[in-house]
Amino acid sequence: MKVWRPGITGKLFLAIFATCIVLLISMHWAVRVSFERGFIDYIKHGNEQRLQMLGDALGDQYQQHGNWRFLRNNDRFVFQILRSFEHDNDRDKPGPGMPPHGWRTQFWVVDQNGRVLVGPRGPVP
């Protein structure tokens, strides 16, 4: 029985083909990891920016009212503040660096004693 043995052309083709496949897989993995990190960083940056603006706005409101009663059980107030950040510019687009509508994460506003003022009433993580 005769066994097929590739010639030099076949061996060269297989070597180049295998190298291309390894490079393709490596490049795919590198691009995917880079994209995932960049996207997650983009989302985190937008959330941090929104949190900073919300903190400043709530600080101003606390100075005006002198307490947190205006905020207790009034989740809408916080969302109105968030919406005002997005609509400060004339366009109906989120501000610079802000994620688009629908990319919201859960958040809580707690007082100095750790009591939930705004957000889900379950335990704060």
* Local structure of residue 17 (DSSP, 8 states): H
Q: Where are any strands of DSSP class E within the chain? A: 109-110, 116-118
Alpha-carbon distance 125 to 73, whole Å?
Answer: 19
Ranges of each domain in the chain? 8-118
Q: What is the pLDDT of residues 20-58, one digit of tens each?
A: 999 999 999 999 999 988 988 888 888 888 888 888 988
pLDDT one-digit tens code per residue, 76-100 = 888 888 788 776 654 555 455 444 5
Which residues are bridge partners to 110 per DSSP? 116
pTM, two decimals, is 0.54
pLDDT band at 108 (very low <50, low <70, confident <90, very high): confident
First to last CA, the chain: 70
Cα-only R_g, the chain? 27
Does 103 score more than 60 pLDDT? no
